[in-house]
């Protein structure tokens, strides 16, 4: 039997939409804020830490292995190793499951894990045509040849490629993430209205949960006055006055004519960081720690890249065989809201006999995911989806919610771009 990964404490920065409050903080400083805050909140002696693991999708170019920089800047002793993991949207969960594997293989007992992402700072890229001209310019020796090369530049050369757009495209299936969501919406017959309704619910739940969510949030200090504020301690994604007619007005992004996926029913592009302190049972006893929850089992599964939104179902299916629980045992669910259509497709698929039989090769359905137990504090549609951090946030939010409800276990899951899914059981301590 595998050993559980105890979660001692967790914090996160507020999640802020790209280009807003946190736009000037890079992934390193977001991660440093979360890590320092975690250490302060727990009062942990950093010397006890065995390793630091963070997930990050778009690592800053100036900080390859962003985790190491975060660890050092947070005052974690330089003798402690640190590395960064990447499993697209599940990178934050991957950091946790890495720690799980490590305590089970005896490679450490106490870890700081989490996820960081600054989507505001994903760089813009010069086109190859421009890059060619720039390198030619650097090779020029005379003023005349420099002028000649300079004259060869065209306005179009300065039109950058947006790094984020590239990042959200699956190069294998040659589909944008949104296009995979469109595919699911048509295959599972999920109407625009259903999707908009789901999004509205997400906002409502997040707005209502502000006070609960505040428990896991740690203020980020700007160290200067930005628009008359010195700090930020509130997610800025959830909209108090969101309504259906406003959502209905939005134009589809990925299929202009017949599409259903809009900016309103897809996850927000967001900056944020999550940090968790996790330990083996041995470390809990040794240092007298008070865990708030534990991760008892997990599974990752591959699936069709063009239907990556069904990843959660594939992962849950695999997880069932690895753990002693079925979907019915979950007190709450956290399924990352990459797209409303994708979550709704998962819900339908889990109850579809045909799908479960044909695709999952099961003799019975996976089980129902009840509406009122799903993403009870809102999800990425309202709170935002800092890709590398979301996986860790699902764990954090679900633990806090389990403790509030005095419930036993939560099933968390994410779809992963490129055709994967991840799922894990989070249990009360």
Partner 1 sequence: MNNMISRTLKDQFLTLELDRPHSSANVIDFDFFDALNQELDFLECHSEIETLYISSKKKGIFIAGADLNQFKKGMSIEEIQHLIRLGHDTFSRLRKLPQVSIARIHGICVGGGLELALACDYRIASDDKSTKIGLPEVTLGILPGWGGTTRLPRMIGLRKALFMILSGKQFNSSSALRIGVIDGIVKKEKLLTASISYSQKGKKVFPLFPFENHPISTMIVEYQARKNILKKTQGHYPAPLRALQVAVKGLRGSMESSYKLEEKAFLDLISDPISMNLVNLFFLTERSKRVRIEDIETPPVKVKKVAIIGAGIMGSGIAQWISSRKFNTTLKDIHPKAVGKGMAQIQKILQSGILRKTFTAVEARDTLDRITPVSSEIPMFHHDLVIEAVVEKLDLKRQVIKDLESRTRPDTVLASNTSALSINKIAEKMEHPERMVGIHFFNPVHRMKLVEVIQGEKTSNQTLTTTLEFVKKIGKLPVLVKDSPGFLVNRILMPYLFESVRLFDQGYSIEQIDSSLLAFGMPMGPLRLIDEVGVDVAQHVASDLLKRLENPFPETQLLQKMLEGNYLGKKSGSGFYNYPRKINPNLKILDYKSYPIASEYRDSDLTKMLVYLMVNEGARCLEESIVKGPEEVDFGMVMGTGWAPFRGGPMRYADTVGIEKIVQEMESYCGEKTPHFKPCNLLLEMASTGKQFFPQTASVVEHTPNDRNHGHQNAA
Is residue 418 involved in binding partner 1 (CB under 8 A)? no
Distance CA 193, CA 305 (A): 26
How many angstroms separate the Cα of 99 from the Cα of each of 254, 321, 349? 37, 21, 31
Residue 87: CB minimum distance to partner 1, A: 29
Distance CA 97, CA 100 (A): 5
Beta strand segments in 172-286, E = 175-176, 220-226, 229-232, 270-279
Alpha-carbon dihedral 107, 389, 407, 344, rounded to 10 degrees:
-130
Is residue 172 involved in binding partner 1 (CB under 8 A)? no
Distance CA 269, CA 118 (A): 9
- The residue range among 17-25, 67-75, 162-170, 277-285 that interacts with partner 1, by the rule CB under 8 A, is 67-75
Task: Select from 2, 221, 351, 368 the one that contacts partner 1 (CB under 8 A).
Answer: 221
Is residue 257 involved in binding partner 1 (CB under 8 A)? no
Is residue 224 involved in binding partner 1 (CB under 8 A)? yes
Distance CA 197, CA 131 (A): 46
Residue 22: CB minimum distance to partner 1, A: 14
What crossing angle do the helices spanning 91-104 and 387-405 adopt, rounded to 10°?
Answer: 70
Residue 120: CB minimum distance to partner 1, A: 20
Is residue 45 involved in binding partner 1 (CB under 8 A)? yes
Task: Give, as ranges, the residues between 1 and 40 that touch partner 1 (CB under 8 A).
Answer: 32, 36-37, 39-40
Task: Select from 132, 191, 231, 244 the one that contacts partner 1 (CB under 8 A).
Answer: 231
How many angstroms separate the Cα of 218 from the Cα of each of 39, 235, 402? 12, 11, 20
Kindly state the tokens that stand for 128: 């190859």
Task: Give, as ranges, the residues between 93 and 132 that touch partner 1 (CB under 8 A).
Answer: none
Residue 221: CB minimum distance to partner 1, A: 4
Which residues are annotated as catalytic?
89, 385, 415
- Torsions phi, psi of 170, nearest 5? -85, 110
- The residue range among 180-188, 189-197, 214-222, 375-383 that interacts with partner 1, by the rule CB under 8 A, is 214-222
- The residue range among 72-80, 132-140, 201-209, 327-335 that interacts with partner 1, by the rule CB under 8 A, is 72-80
- Torsions phi, psi of 19, nearest 5? 80, 10
User: Nearer Cβ to partner 1, position 196 or 235?
Assistant: 235
Is residue 223 involved in binding partner 1 (CB under 8 A)? yes
User: Nearer Cβ to partner 1, position 124 or 221?
Assistant: 221
Is residue 229 involved in binding partner 1 (CB under 8 A)? yes
Distance CA 336, CA 13 (A): 18
Is residue 78 involved in binding partner 1 (CB under 8 A)? no
Would you give the DSSP letter of residue 236?
S
How many angstroms separate the Cα of 423 from the Cα of each of 25, 52, 136, 212, 265? 30, 22, 49, 24, 23
User: Nearer Cβ to partner 1, position 172 or 221?
Assistant: 221
Is residue 286 involved in binding partner 1 (CB under 8 A)? no
Residue carrying structure tokens 């389990």: 402
User: Nearer Cβ to partner 1, position 71 or 90?
Assistant: 71
How crowded is the C-beta side of 72, counted as CA atoms within 13 Å?
Answer: 9
User: Nearer Cβ to partner 1, position 45 or 353?
Assistant: 45
Is residue 225 involved in binding partner 1 (CB under 8 A)? yes
Is residue 370 involved in binding partner 1 (CB under 8 A)? no
Residue 255: CB minimum distance to partner 1, A: 44
Query: Count of CB atoms within 10 A of residue 316's CB?
Result: 28
- Torsions phi, psi of 44, nearest 5? -75, 140
Is residue 219 involved in binding partner 1 (CB under 8 A)? yes
Chain residues that interact with partner 1, rule: CB under 8 A: 32, 36-37, 39-43, 45, 73-75, 219, 221-225, 229-231, 233
């Amino acid at each position: 039997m595998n050993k559980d990964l105890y979660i001692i404490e967790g914090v996160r920065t507020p999640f802020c939409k790209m280009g807003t409050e946190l736009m000037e903080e890079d992934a390193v400083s977001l991660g440093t804020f979360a890590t320092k805050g975690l250490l302060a909140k727990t009062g942990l002696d950093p010397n006890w830490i065995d390793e630091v693991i963070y997930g990050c999708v778009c690592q800053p170019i100036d900080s390859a292995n962003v985790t190491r920089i975060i660890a050092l800047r947070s005052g974690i002793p330089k003798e402690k190793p640190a590395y960064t993991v990447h499993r697209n949207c599940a990178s934050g969960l991957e950091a946790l499951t890495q720690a799980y594997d490590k305590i089970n293989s005896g490679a450490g007992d106490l870890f700081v894990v989490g996820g960081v992402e600054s989507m505001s700072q994903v760089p813009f890229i010069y086109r190859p045509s421009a890059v060619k001209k720039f390198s030619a310019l650097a090779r020029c020796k005379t003023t005349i040849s420099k002028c000649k090369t300079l004259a060869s530049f065209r306005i179009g050369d300065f039109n950058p490629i947006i790094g984020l757009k590239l990042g959200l495209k699956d190069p294998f299936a040659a589909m944008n993430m949104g296009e995979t969501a469109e595919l699911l919406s048509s295959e599972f017959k999920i109407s625009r209205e259903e999707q908009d309704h789901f999004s509205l619910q997400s906002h409502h739940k997040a707005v209502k949960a502000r006070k609960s969510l505040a428990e896991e949030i740690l203020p980020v200090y700007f160290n200067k006055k930005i628009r008359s504020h010195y700090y930020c301690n509130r997610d800025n994604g959830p909209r108090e006055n969101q309504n259906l007619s406003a959502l209905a007005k939005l134009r589809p992004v990925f299929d202009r004519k017949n599409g259903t996926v809009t900016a309103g029913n897809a996850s927000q592009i967001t900056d944020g960081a999550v940090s968790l302190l996790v330990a083996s049972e041995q470390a809990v006893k040794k240092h007298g720690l008070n865990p708030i929850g534990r991760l008892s089992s997990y599974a990752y599964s591959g699936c069709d890249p063009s239907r990556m939104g069904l990843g959660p179902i594939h992962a849950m299916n695999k997880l069932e065989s690895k753990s002693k629980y079925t979907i019915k045992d979950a007190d709450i669910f956290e399924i990352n809201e990459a797209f409303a259509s994708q979550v709704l497709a998962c819900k339908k698929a889990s109850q579809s006999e045909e799908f479960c039989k044909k695709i999952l090769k099961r003799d019975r359905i996976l089980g129902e995911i009840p509406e009122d137990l799903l993403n009870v504090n809102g999800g990425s549609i309202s709170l935002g989806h800092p890709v590398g951090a979301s996986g860790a946030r699902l764990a954090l939010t679900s633990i806090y919610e389990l403790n509030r409800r005095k419930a036993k276990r939560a099933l968390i899951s994410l779809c992963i771009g490129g055709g994967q899914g991840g799922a894990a059981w989070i249990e009360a301590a």
